[in-house]
Structure 1
Amino acid sequence: MTHDFAIPPALDTTRHAAFLDFDGTLVELVEDPQAVAIAPGARDELASLARRLGGALAVVSGRRIADLDRFLSPARFAAAGVHGLERRRSPDGEVERLAGPETLDPVRNTIAAALEANQRLHLEDKDTALVIHYRTAPDLKDLAERIMAKATEGREDLVVMHGDCIVEVHPAGMDKGKAVAAMMEDAPFAGRIPVYVGDDTTDEFALRHVRNEGGVSIKVGGAEKASVAEFRLKDIAAVHAWIAAAS
């Protein structure tokens, strides 16, 4: 049997540190970002893996950590939210925030006015990031990008990122790769081999960092998704099967 991607090695709970994207990796992408759900069995398997890794498992997402906690409740994990602008180094630790929402107030006002005239687009306000969603209006992709470009014009302190049916802005200086690097500096991650699993273009920062550091970089999706990752898992079901098979 042939396939278009290299199967990753099994997670080794004695040596690896696992960093997992959320949307498109642990849960299916849906039209309403607040309507995602993880199967209780998959959530419990994730919690079991975190225990076997000695806590060296983190969810790394563009979402806020508070939202991740809500979707994964009652389980809690170390996490990097809003592409690393929020960070929690242990499940019961404090959430560190690297920027405040006031940084985006001028952009917030400009976007809100533009979207009032284009209500098929949806704004998600994460305090330290703003996201225009066009999953339900893919024909408005160019408009969403133009709105964001105009709202951020001249703001070198901000970065605009393009993901799966989204365009997002947040303060510059942070991405998922930098978030993983920061978390690897401290226990229980320090001294382990990083493993990163993600599906989106925003995950490429972390996939590149982990591969450069000699870790295990895993892209979710077929070969049609270009990636720097060394390995592939076909879909979300394959991710959960891989998690369940950890040694």
Structure 2
Amino acid sequence: MAIPPLLDPGADALFLDFDGTLVGFADDPAAVRLEPGVLDVLTALQRHVSGAFAIVSGRRIDDLDRFLAPLAFAAAGVHGLEQRPEPGGDVRRLTGPQALDRLRSALWPGLVASPLLELEDKGTALVLHSRRHPELGPLAEDLMRQAVGDEDGFVVLHGKNVVEVHLAGMDKGRAVDIFCQNAPFAGRRPVYIGDDATDEFALRVVRKAGGVSIKVGLGDTDAQFRLGDVPDVHRWLSESNRVAGQGRAR
């Protein structure tokens, strides 16, 4: 698979996943940190693309703000169930925590019986983590499948040592599509970089729109291009920033 072209700041809109793309994974999701200098590069790129820059993540937007402070940015959190169309704007939540009350109750007995599994409650989504104990991944999937049962209206997402459930009707691809219909993203070529199965929704949308779809790491993908790992993403971002800066200087 080909190496992706560098960002065209005058024509492109940049969408970035967070975990596995901007930062590596950690046993404790709260312990991840950006490498020194990456935030400066992101700040410059946001300026180069005239604000057409967004983070699209399974994380809550509040968490993204903490990791990326003091950068202000547009964002889609919890796979698009949280949306902030512009930096510093209000966060719109498409559902409330009460929608998952039955699933919380259904998951509880399994969590008591298997305390090594970790439940992350995002309010609008529930996530079972098995990163500390990957051998429990199949159990996490079984518990989530049993909790959802035959009930319509929910979607179960499988990621790297995680299984997540939230209300159906939204994913990262739909979130990117919403961004692309509005300023400052409208009329620009979308560029999306992501590493996980949940990013495939966005990678397909971007490729269909004639954009640049970039998969991080190994695995099957619908993306056109691939970067090997998080350091490769950082190098691509830095080089795009360097070239964009030279263009502005001319």
TM over 0.5: yes
SS at match of 2:4: coil
- Map of 2:82 onto structure 1: 86
Q: Does 1:124 align with 2:120?
A: yes
Distance in 1 (alpha carbons) for counterparts of 2:213 and 2:187:
17
Where 1:23 maps in the other structure, the secondary structure is: coil
* Distance (Å, rounded) in 2 between the aligned partners of 1:112 and 1:243: 42
Report what 1:235 is aligned to. Answer: 229
* Gap runs ≥5 in structure 2: 245-250
Root mean square deviation, CA, Å = 0.8
Shift in Å at residue 47 of structure 1?
1.1
CA drift of 1:112 comes to 2.4
TM-score, normalised with respect to structure 2: 0.95
- How far off is 1:89 after superposition? 0.8
Q: Report the CA distance shift for 1:204/1:230 in structure 2 as closer, same or farther (over 3 A).
A: same
Task: Summarize the alignment of residues 64-79 of structure 1 with structure 2, pairs less than 5 Å apart.
Answer: 64-79=60-75
For 2:61 and 2:221, how far apart are their aligned partners in 1? 26
- Going by fraction, where is helix more abundant, 1 or 2? 2
Distance 1:15 1:108 in 2: 45
1:27-54 deviation line (CA, Å, top 9, x unaligned): 0011111111112410111111111111
Deviation at residue 113 of structure 1 after TM alignment: 2.5
- Aligned amino acid, residue 127 of structure 1: G
Shift in Å, 1:140: 1.0
Q: Give the distance between the partners of 2:80 and 2:175, measured in 1 at CA.
A: 5
Match of 1:22 among 18, 25, 31: 18
Q: Which residue of 1 aligns with 2:202?
A: 206
Match of residue 182 from structure 1:
178
In 1, Cα distance between equivalents of 2:151 and 2:160: 23
- Alpha-carbon distance in 1 for matches of 2:111, 2:83: 30
Does 1:61 find its partner at 2:57?
A: yes
Distance in 2 separating the partners of 1:155 and 1:47: 43
Cα shift readout 1:88-130 (whole Å, capped 9, x = no counterpart): 1111111111111110001012212311110110000000000
Where in structure 1 do 4 or more consecutive aligned residues deviate above 4 Å? none
DSSP-derived class of the 1:238 partner: helix
d(CA) in 1 for partners of 2:109 and 2:52?
43
Q: Which runs of 5+ in 1 are unaligned?
A: none
SS of residue paired to 1:245: helix
